[in-house]
Amino acid sequence: MIEVINKACGLDIHKLFFIATILCRSGEKQQKRFNRTDDDILTFKKWVISEKCNVVACESTSDFWVPIHDSLINYLPVIVGNARDMKAFTHKKTDKLDSEFIAQLALNNMIQPSRIFPIDHRAFRSCIRLRHSLVQKRTDIKNKAHAILAPEMFNLKNVLTDIFGKNGIMILSGISSGKSVDQIIASLSPNVRKKSDQIREVLNNEISQSAAFRLQICLKLIKSLDDEIEVLENEIFNYAYNNHKHEMEILMSVPGIGKLGAATLIAEIGDFNDFSSGDKLASWLGLVPNVYQSADKYHNGRITKRGPKEARWILTQIAQAAAKTKNSKLKEFFNRKKKSIGHSKAIIALARKIATIIWHLITNDEMYEDETGYKKGETQKTKIVENEILSVDERITIMSEIFAITRKKEEKST
């Protein structure tokens, strides 16, 4: 970090444009507006370099700052500050004033820089977040399918633990395509066919044409999302095992952490050595309580929820799994906390504890050990699959062939 800043540039970045203000300690000010295009970013870069700015500062507004940061970072320091921290200083709100205000903060060294990951790691993290978003959408569609089946009195949940598993999909596809009960049962696995009497009882209910049509659309969307999620997971595990194999092994030795949990933690946290302690990591993740102190009064509030919400979400899921793990110190910790603060708060406390544990394990290059007798089962070996990257023309050609085949089948059936 530069100790003395004599000239600073502040940016107020929007989706289509950004305002840049250069301030000097002598009081001189220059202000320009640029479009957020490659040409204008290059023009802006030449301008700030020619003006010999000591630093460029901006808020972490969405990902709008990324191309500007990447174009400048090799030439001069770029500070990306937390917008919530910077808004703590009140000022009038216009784009030009925002830009000047950020420049003033940078000039006086009052912006705490955010952690900026390398480009490859940011792409890895984007894949993790996109997968999470697609899984949420798939869950929404599955809930919609449940809502379609409920009025039709198709209570498959009484027969199958997961109606969207392999056998459940076979039954739902058969229902929506108009297959007979015998045909549907014949396509099921031997274990499920043992429940044929219960399945027949459910399938004897007639489903309306409208419900079958809507259910078929839901199943197609679920299949499409399953395929895309699988492609993303191949890309995620390919990167994780090629670049962070040892860290993956360490994290997966902890109760409750599987392949996806380990990959998500690596993607969201990055370099664990950026933090001086496990408590600092927990604070960055927003798993520590808000603190209010005045005179002799000291109050702990809810957790701060700062940092990446995806990391807090996966740590909470990991804590839920660890709390159910037999012969584990983590389960003992959860049970003790649950008695005094309740289930929900105990899960958050366990998530924070796990965050401090994984910091210690990674920074000290140690595997997790548990004195209570817990032993992690053998993890399934991951097969790395390279995804073939197709051009737009190749994708269009493939889709055209698929549509042609589908049309022929439909013509034959009619």
CATH number at residue 175: 1.10.287
Residue 356 pLDDT exceeds 90: yes
**Which pLDDT band holds residue 289 (cuts at 50, 70, 90)?**
confident
Segment among 78-87, 120-129, 266-275, 279-288 with least mean pLDDT:
78-87
Query: What band does 1 get if pLDDT is binned at 50, 70 and 90?
Result: very low
Is residue 231 domain-shared with residue 260, that is, in the same domain? no
Give me the percent of the chain exceeding a pLDDT of 70: 87
Mean predicted confidence (pLDDT) in 227-247: 94
Residue 200 inside a domain? The answer is: yes
Of 44-53, 151-160, 246-255, 346-355, minimum mean pLDDT range: 151-160
> What's the mean pLDDT in 184-188?
82
Residue that is last in its domain, among 107, 138, 160: 107
Residues 222 and 284 in one domain: no
- The reply to whether 89 and 46 lie within a common domain is yes
Q: In this structure, are residues 354 and 330 in contact, taking their beta carbons and an 8 Å threshold?
A: yes
Q: Are 43 and 28 in contact (CB under 8 A)?
A: no
Each residue of 288-316: b (16+ CB within 10 Å) or e? Answer: beeeeeeeeeeeeeebeebbbebbbebbb
Q: Do 141 and 253 fall into the same domain?
A: no
Structural domain harbouring 306: 245-364
Kindly state whether residue 231 falls inside one of the protein's structural domains: yes
pLDDT over 90 (residue 401): no
241, 275, 307 — which closes off a domain? 241
Q: Examine the domain organization and report whether 152 and 207 are in the same domain.
A: yes
Q: Which residues contact 381 (CB under 8 A, 6 or more apart)?
A: none
Residue 410 lies in a domain: no
Specify the pLDDT at position 391.
55
Q: Is 204 or 251 the better-scoring residue by pLDDT?
A: 251
Which ranges in 154-205 belong to alpha helices (H)?
166-177, 181-186, 190-193, 196-203
Question: Using an 8 Å Cβ cutoff, are 326 and 335 in contact?
Answer: no
90 band by pLDDT with thresholds 50, 70 and 90: low
Phi/psi at 78 (5° precision) = -125, 120
Distances (CA, A) of 112 to 79, 281, 351: 8, 16, 26
Asked whether residue 405 is domain-assigned, the answer is: no
DSSP label of 113: B
Q: Residue 128's pLDDT is what?
A: 95
* Strand 55-59 with 78-81, pairing: parallel
Q: Which residue has the higher pLDDT, 168 or 249?
A: 249
Q: Are residues 285 and 204 in the same domain?
A: no
Interatomic CA distance for residues 226 and 24, integer angstroms: 55
In the prediction, which pLDDT does 246 show? Answer: 95
348 pLDDT more than 90: yes
Whether residues 261 and 226 fall in one domain: no
Burial (CB count <10 Å: 0-12, 13-18, 19+), residue 403: exposed
Residue 223 lies in a domain: yes
Q: Which of 53-62, 167-176, 262-271, 374-383 has the highest mean pLDDT?
A: 262-271
Q: How confident is the model at residue 399 (pLDDT cuts 50, 70, 90)?
A: low
pLDDT of 338 over the 50 cut = yes
Say if residue 268's pLDDT is above 80: yes
Query: So what's the pLDDT on residue 53?
Result: 93
Is there a single domain that holds both residue 210 and residue 318?
no
Q: Are 11 and 56 in contact (CB under 8 A)?
A: yes
pTM comes to: 0.80
Give the number of domains in the chain.
3
